[in-house]
């Protein structure tokens, strides 16, 4: 209670200083660059495991090339792939932070532009009709910035996950009826992976969204890709479905880069939301073999911890 007897929140909001947004800009720049150059350790481990278990010679050769590309990027500090993709940021704001959302978005955009010019990158971002390229990896509503909130901490978590066109083009949404049941859900996912074929540069990570609204379902499929490769949904039924689908997908014979083989996907990740009683949306969003993502935790005092 204060001197007037009024209730005072247990935790006072943290008003961020001017320099915080400059740190966000620098972090956005660094995350975009590092996401292109540094393949996450869980992806590296999954590729190495796939190589050990792969029985088809041409598939083994393709996996070796992927691993060599990662090693070369490490050695030369260079991009693993020339497609720097559409820049996508996931910002999770701790409940204790008092954030200026507009300035936060502007800082991320400036950081994206700097990464493109200072590294430099090939800008792959164009207007949808005129195909104008500003050579900044930015444009109207790009970078795409997701903003979410959490009560777990009082810092800003920033995750950068660029999506190249090979994988992003292979996005599917199917509005199923409840009568289609779990078998209909499985078929929709498997049909999507088969239709995608070699286009998303397999072995892929298969992101799946189930339920929600149509747009939310696709969002969930992409959100699923932000998880470490091979992690499981906390729901035991969904975790079992992830394993079952991965086994079936790897029996399709599509294989690395579509050349045939035992490893079409490294993981299947599923996220769900409750939906309407008369529908059951299913979305699939694929990630290429690089599984690119980079993460940072920006604390209120301006210090930064990096991770994946």
pLDDT for res 11:
62
pLDDT for res 17:
77
Which phi and psi angles does 68 have, rounded to 5°?
-65, -35
Residue 6 above 50 pLDDT? Answer: no
Residue 280 above 50 pLDDT? Answer: yes
pLDDT for res 8:
39
Share of the chain above pLDDT 90, in %: 91
pLDDT for res 154:
84
Q: Sheet harboring 171-176: ordered strands across? A: 171-176, 280-287, 204-211, 265-273
Distance, CA of 281 to CA of 214 (rounded, Å): 6
Distance, CA of 82 to CA of 123 (rounded, Å): 10
For 77, other C-beta atoms within 10 Å of its C-beta total 9
284 has which bridge partners?
Answer: 172, 208
Residue 5 above 70 pLDDT? Answer: no
Q: What's the whole-number mean pLDDT along residues 68-72? A: 97
Structural domain boundaries in the chain = 14-39+80-164+292-307, 165-287
Which residue's structure tokens are 């292109």?
36
Q: What is the pLDDT of residues 8-43, one digit of tens each?
A: 344 677 877 779 999 999 999 999 999 999 999 999
Mean confidence (pLDDT) of the chain: 94
Distance, CA of 187 to CA of 257 (rounded, Å): 23
Q: What is the pLDDT of residues 162-218, one digit of tens each?
A: 999 999 999 999 999 999 999 999 999 999 999 999 999 999 999 999 999 999 999
Cis? peptide before 110, omega within 30° of 0: no
Q: What's the whole-number mean pLDDT along residues 43-69? A: 98
Closest C-alpha to 91, from 25, 42, 14: 25
pLDDT for res 16:
78
pLDDT grade, residue 137 (50/70/90)?
very high
pLDDT for res 1:
41
User: How many CA within 13 A on the CB side of residue 101?
Assistant: 9
Cis? peptide before 223, omega within 30° of 0: no
pLDDT for res 267:
98
Predicted TM-score (pTM) of this structure: 0.93
Q: Quickly list DSSP for 36-91.
A: HH---HHHHHHHHHHHHH---HHHHHHHHHHHHHHHHHHHHT--S-S---B-EEEE
Pick the CATH number of 14-39+80-164+292-307 from 1.10.3470, 3.30.420, 3.30.1330, 3.90.700: 3.30.1330
Q: What's the whole-number mean pLDDT along residues 114-141? A: 96
């Amino acid at each position: 209670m204060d001197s007037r007897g009024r209730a005072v929140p247990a935790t006072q909001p943290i008003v961020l200083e001017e320099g915080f947004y400059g740190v966000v800009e620098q972090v956005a720049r660094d995350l975009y660059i590092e996401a292109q150059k540094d393949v996450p350790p869980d992806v590296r481990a999954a590729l190495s495991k796939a190589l050990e278990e792969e029985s088809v010679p041409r598939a083994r050769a393709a996996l070796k090339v992927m691993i060599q590309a990662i090693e070369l990027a490490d050695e030369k500090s260079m991009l693993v792939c020339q497609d720097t993709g559409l820049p996508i940021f996931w910002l999770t704001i701790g409940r204790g932070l008092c954030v200026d959302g507009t300035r936060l978005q502007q800082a991320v955009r400036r950081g994206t532009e700097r990464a493109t010019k200072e590294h430099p990158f090939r800008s792959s971002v164009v207007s949808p009709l005129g195909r104008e390229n500003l050579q900044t990896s930015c444009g109207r509503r790009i970078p795409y910035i997701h903003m979410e909130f959490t009560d777990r901490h009082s810092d800003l978590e920033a995750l950068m996950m660029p999506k190249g066109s090979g994988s992003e083009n292979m996005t599917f949404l199917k509005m199923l009826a409840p009568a289609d049941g779990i078998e209909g859900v499985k078929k929709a996912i498997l049909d999507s992976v088969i239709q995608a074929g070699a286009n998303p540069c397999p072995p892929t990570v298969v992101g799946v969204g189930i339920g929600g609204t149509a747009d939310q379902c696709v969002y969930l499929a992409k959100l699923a890709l932000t998880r470490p490769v091979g992690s499981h949904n906390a729901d035991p039924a969904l975790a079992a479905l992830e394993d079952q689908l991965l086994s079936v997908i790897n029996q399709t014979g599509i294989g690395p880069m579509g050349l045939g083989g035992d490893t079409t996907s490294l993981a299947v990740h599923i996220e769900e939301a409750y939906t309407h009683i008369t529908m059951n949306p299913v979305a699939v969003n694929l990630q290429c073999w690089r599984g690119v993502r980079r993460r940072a935790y920006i604390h209120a005092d301006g210090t930064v911890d990096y991770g994946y």
